[in-house]
Amino acid sequence: MAKPNRKMKIKREFRSFLKAKQCCHDGSKGFYGLYPLSARCLNKCDLKKHDGWILLDTTPLGRFPILDTREFLDLLICSVPDLKPPTPKQMERILQFIQEHEKTLISCIGAHGRTGTVLAIWLYLHEPEGDPILKVRERYCKEAVESREQALFIYDFLKLEPNHKLLSELDLIEPWPKMKWW
């Protein structure tokens, strides 16, 4: 029997990674007017039950090429790279947008990292006790807030001292190192 090559092993690991992140956030459960929606569950969400939609990544729109929400939804598009937090200016605009609407959807791809970052801040602003990352992971999803950079942004934005012990215990993704190819 032939040994699996490196490429096949990487593909297998990637497939198992994708299967592990199969939770569905369909916009039905929210916190203080903010409703997380993952791209994979976009077809399960009744968009007309909401009056605002924050897109942290425009990829979800690609799932419905004919989707036109202008008649019933205000859109706020804040392009935030994967595994990164929004800028402080984007975060201020996001918070303002949420306050201007009664039921606001918020989306990135899986509704974990970027969405979880915003949700952690939003929850803490309404319930300012405990750790914001633990709170969002307990109340929303154990995958919320994916990277160390997102976690540090939450503490910085909320003017909290980072919980370094907690950060070392959480399963957070470190950004890919920049590589020189030539």
Nearest to 112 by CA among 168, 61, 1, 38: 38
Question: Rounded distance, CA 72 to CA 171, Å?
Answer: 39
Look at strands 52-55 and 104-107 and give their pairing. parallel
pLDDT above 90: residue 4: no
Q: Given this model, what pLDDT does residue 16 score?
A: 47
How many Cβ atoms are within 10 Å of 123's Cβ, its own excluded? 21
Q: Given this model, what pLDDT does residue 42 score?
A: 84
Q: What percent of the chain has pLDDT over 70?
A: 77
The residue among 21 and 145 whose pLDDT is bigger is: 145
> pTM of whole model > 0.75?
yes
Mean pLDDT value of segment 150-178: 89
Order across the sheet with 74-77: list the strands.
34-37, 104-107, 52-55, 74-77
Question: Rounded distance, CA 168 to CA 181, Å?
Answer: 31
CATH 3.40.50.800 fits 25-169, yes or no: no
**∠ Cα 108 31 97 (to 5°):** 60
pLDDT digit string (tens) for 72-126?
789 999 999 999 999 999 999 999 999 999 999 999 999 999 999 999 999 999 9
Nearest to 132 by CA among 37, 31, 48, 41: 31
Q: Given this model, what pLDDT does residue 174 score?
A: 74
Pair of tokens at residue 130: 């405990």
Question: Rounded distance, CA 141 to CA 135, Å?
Answer: 10
Q: Could you tell me the residue ranges of all domains in the chain?
A: 25-169
**∠ Cα 11 15 17 (to 5°):** 115
